[in-house]
Amino acid sequence: MSEHHKQTAPTGAAQHHQDLERRYREALLPVFGAPQKVLARGEGVHVWDTDGKQYLDLLAGIAVNALGHAHPALLSAITKQAQTLGHVSNFFASAPQIELAEKLLTLADAPAGSGVFFANSGTEANEAAFKIARRTGRPRIIALHNSFHGRTMGALALTWKEAYRAPFEPLPGGVEFLPAGDEQALAAALAPGDVAAVFAEPIQGEAGVRPLTPTYLRALRRLTREHGTLLVLDEVQTGMGRTGHWFAHQAVDGLQPDVMTLAKGLGGGFPIGAVLSFGPAVHDLLQPGQHGTTFGGNPLAAAAGLAVIGTILEDGLLEHVTATGEGFRRDVLALGHPLVQEVRGAGLLLGIGLATPIAAQVAARALEAGFIVNAPDASTVRLAPPLIITAAELDAFRAALPALLEAAVAEGEN
Ligand SMILES: *Cc1c(COP(=O)(O)O)cnc(C)c1O
């Protein structure tokens, strides 16, 4: 290579990164927009990009990597299971699948006559819940303003954002949207007795980490029960210890849905989703042959789920999540920064609500500074780190936050 080339060409690693970005553009459909980085490796709460730069992963693949990256318990469970039995189809059962279903029912305090259907993602879990709702024979379904339930056609029909829906209409019909928190609107909508189900997220994650109030959750339960309507809680993002409870609705004493959907953290990075039905009235709505999946509940995915649950239990992660989440919230508010309005959410699903719509710029500055966060809306910075993150690791971001906010503001003024 000539002296000239040495000076102007990118270094080996940077060249490699650029090549991968170009090949990504040429080989993948453009649905996600440009990736922020090409990542090469992860360990614990850190990931590294192909330039070798290290990041503190405060997003965990969007609330997925509950145990962080390359956790020994998850590695060992997946490896052992792959060596034993990887996939069997649902013509056959496997012990890990059965054990995971039993564990989930226990953790959810599900009564006798409850059951589990395994899928491979959040949207698929919600598709199954949608089909359960249809089987009540009632024509109407209610979802909430700002809801996000997934991108397949049924889940999309339950999702609020017009930009996601409009290009794909007509969507499955019968879905109506109500403002979250409006008890009167809910009572009026349910009164005719023809609503199959109400779908709700205990904390609306994609909408900017916006919790439903305990009062509204109780009203949802009371009114759906009164009118024979199913209450479907989408805990795809909030479940599996994310909020310091196994499932976010457990923060409200005695509250139990009729159907709950899970995914994201359930496999700790291995794709798996689940639908839990509560009690005998819901159990047989889906009859043999009315739903199915090839991969769902395969032994490999189930073993991953079991490792996640086992580690959360053994390491006392629920208490840890509550304590570190509360500590972080308190310390961020104690910064007294004029741009920080509030910290929403629970446990380690947190949205820092900003006074001005600069969240995307903050997330970009954070990435440069070695922190992965995201901006689910223009004025919210979301954190959903691995549940194993320490208070000290979180505090590194808290300490960096004022400078990131000021850099984002300065950028806006230029
Ligand atoms: C992520 C998410 C989904 C969709 O899950 P996918 O695995 O991306 O299909 C559904 N509901 C909620 C609440 C989510 O956060």
Domains of the chain (ranges plus CATH)?
3-70+316-413 (3.90.1150.10), 74-314 (3.40.640.10)
Q: Whose CA is nearest to atom 10 of ligand 1?
A: 149
234 lines ligand 1 (CB under 6 A): yes
For residues 197 and 135, give the distance between their C-alpha atoms in angstroms, rounded to a whole number: 10
Q: What is the pLDDT of residue 3?
A: 43
For residues 29 and 20, give the distance between their C-alpha atoms in angstroms, rounded to a whole number: 15
For residues 63 and 73, give the distance between their C-alpha atoms in angstroms, rounded to a whole number: 18
| Distances in whole angstroms, Cα of residue 101 to Cα of each of 106, 252, 341 | 9, 23, 41
Taking alpha carbons only, the member of 214, 204, 210 closest to residue 236 is 204
Instruction: Give the other-Cβ count within 10 Å of 137's Cβ.
Output: 8
Find the mean pLDDT for residues 191-201.
98
Taking alpha carbons only, the member of 77, 70, 62 closest to residue 46 is 70
Residue type, 103: K
- Give the number of C-alpha atoms closer than 13 A to the C-alpha of residue 128, restricted to the C-beta side: 31
Geometric angle at alpha carbon 72, from 309 and 243, rounded to 5° = 35
* pLDDT above 80 for 1: no
121 lines ligand 1 (CB under 6 A): yes
What whole-number percentage of the chain has pLDDT above 90? 94
Q: How far is the CA of 164 from the centre of ligand 1 (A)?
A: 14
236 lines ligand 1 (CB under 6 A): yes
pTM of the model: 0.96
For residues 18 and 258, give the distance between their C-alpha atoms in angstroms, rounded to a whole number: 49
Q: What is the pLDDT of residue 7?
A: 45
Find the mean pLDDT for residues 60-69.
98
Taking alpha carbons only, the member of 135, 143, 134 closest to residue 199 is 143
Find the mean pLDDT for residues 329-347.
98
Q: How far is the CA of 28 from the centre of ligand 1 (A)?
A: 21
241 lines ligand 1 (CB under 6 A): no
pLDDT tens, 230-261?
999 999 999 999 999 999 999 999 999 999 99
Atom of ligand 1 nearest to the CA of 234: 13
Q: What is the pLDDT of residue 14?
A: 80
Atom of ligand 1 nearest to the CA of 124: 9
